Every structure is written in C-alpha cells, then in structure tokens.
C-alpha cells in the first residue's frame, strides 16, 4: 500500500487483459470521521483487508465503471455494513450484488464534502465515473487513460510501444473507438478540466505525480481537434 496524501492511498494487484499484464489498482480515500471509500476494489486478501481496516471504517464500495466490478462481492461479504455504489449499467449486469445507488454527475452525500465526480457521457460501453479528491488535488480514474512504462512486463511494454502510447498518460485506441458521442464526451471532459488537479491516478500503469493534467490533455488532443491549453 502506498500513501499519496494523509487521506489517500493506492494498492495494486496483478491483472491480465487481452493476454497482457496491465495490473489493477484500488484507491482508498479516507473521509471525515475516518470513513473509507474504496474505489475500484481489487481482490480482498486477508493482508489487504487487515491493512485497510487499520486506516478507518470501510463505509463505501465504489465500482467506477462497467468493467471494474469483479471483486465487489468479496468486499461486500467482508464488510456487509458498507454501502455499494456502481456505474450506470452495473445494476443490471451484476444482479447478484446488493447495490445502494447508481453513480451520476453529482457526488453522494457521504463524500461530497471532499470528493467530486463526473459521469463520462457518450461512453456507454464503459460508463466511467471520474472522481476528484479535493484535499490532495488528485484526479482518480480507471480506464480513462493508461500509463504503461518500464515497470510493466516486456510484452505489455511492446504492445503499448506499438500502440504509440508507451511511457505517457493516454487512452488506447480501444477507448477512442468506444466513444460513441464525441460531443457529449467532450463536454464531460471539459467538466473534469475545471478541477485544479495535478496528480492523476489511473487503474493501469503509473501514477502521474506532477504534470498529470498536461499529460491527460495531450493524450486527448484528438478529442478537441487541436491543441488545448491545460
């Protein structure tokens, strides 16, 4: 577990996607009163649950898009008192889960004092909700972008080299193809850029500690048709 801020941590685990090891990341936000929000939960090992419990009370489990939900059931069983919020569409995809609410453009009352959010419109296959942790000026995303570099296995590095996005924060061609309404998606992206973030946490690859805002804007230059000022 790595601490990014007095109330913000990340922890990683292996994950293969399309035959490549891309890793997975859970972000832990400590809210007022030592309540914890677990963003994109990874496998609930005994060691990890013990470390999480040491940080506070697990109060919210968040599945931020339609692809990041595999381990929610494990965390629900371990922390049945926690509320679960999921991206639109997961309520029908995962009927086996006990779901408290569906994420949207407005933050839930339990975290609105320190965390903002935007639902990425025009991106229906994923329906990603992006978060902003105000105290640490951190953007928390899942598949909005990847940041694969030297810490990844050779085949993963090769694949991202061939895709032209190795070593930088950017979406893959798959994300670009999955944007079905570019105008609506761009409007959502513009809302993200209102937030004064510098650090960017994604689920796959490195954390961009400084300059993440500029990197993300460069990665999405295709969305605006011309260079955009961060």
Q: Report residue 115 as tokens.
A: 């965390």
Does pLDDT of 99 surpass 70? yes
> What does the pLDDT read at residue 150?
80
Does pLDDT of 55 surpass 60? yes
Of all residues in the chain, the percent with pLDDT exceeding 90 is 74
CA-closest candidate to residue 48, choices 9, 15, 85, 81: 9
Beta carbons within 10 angstroms of residue 185's beta carbon: 18
On whether the CB atoms of residues 151 and 206 are closer than 8 A, the answer is: yes
Rounded Cα gap, residues 126 and 88, in angstroms? 9
Place of tokens 């998606």: 185
pTM, two decimals, is 0.93
Does pLDDT of 21 surpass 90? no
Taking only the tens place, the pLDDT of each residue in 116-161 is 999 999 999 999 999 999 999 999 999 999 998 888 888 888 887 8
Give the largest CA-CA distance in the chain: 48
List of domains in the chain = 2-224 (3.60.15.10)
95, burial (CB in 10 Å: exposed 0-12, middle 13-18, buried 19+): exposed
């Amino acid at each position: 577990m790595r601490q990014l801020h007095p109330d913000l941590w990340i922890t990683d685990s292996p994950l293969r996607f399309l035959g490549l090891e891309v890793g997975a990341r859970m972000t832990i936000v400590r809210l007022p009163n030592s309540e914890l929000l677990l963003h994109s939960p990874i496998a609930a090992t005994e060691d990890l649950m013990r470390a999480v419990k040491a940080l506070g009370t697990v109060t919210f489990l968040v599945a931020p898009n339609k692809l990041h939900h595999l381990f929610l059931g494990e965390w629900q069983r371990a922390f049945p008192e926690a509320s679960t919020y999921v991206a639109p569409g997961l309520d029908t995809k995962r009927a086996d889960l006990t779901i408290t609410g569906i994420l949207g453009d407005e933050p839930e009352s339990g975290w609105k004092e320190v965390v903002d959010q935007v639902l990425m419109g025009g991106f229906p296959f994923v329906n990603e909700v992006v978060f902003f942790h105000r105290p640490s000026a951190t953007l928390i995303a899942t598949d909005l972008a990847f940041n694969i570099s030297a810490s990844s296995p050779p085949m993963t590095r090769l694949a991202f080299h061939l895709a032209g996005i190795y070593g930088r924060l950017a979406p893959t061609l798959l994300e670009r193809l999955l944007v079905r309404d570019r105008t609506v998606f761009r409007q959502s992206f513009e809302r993200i850029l209102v937030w004064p973030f510098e650090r960017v946490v994604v689920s796959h690859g490195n954390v961009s500690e400084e300059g993440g805002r500029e990197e993300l804007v460069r990665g999405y230059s295709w969305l605006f048709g011309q260079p955009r000022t961060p």
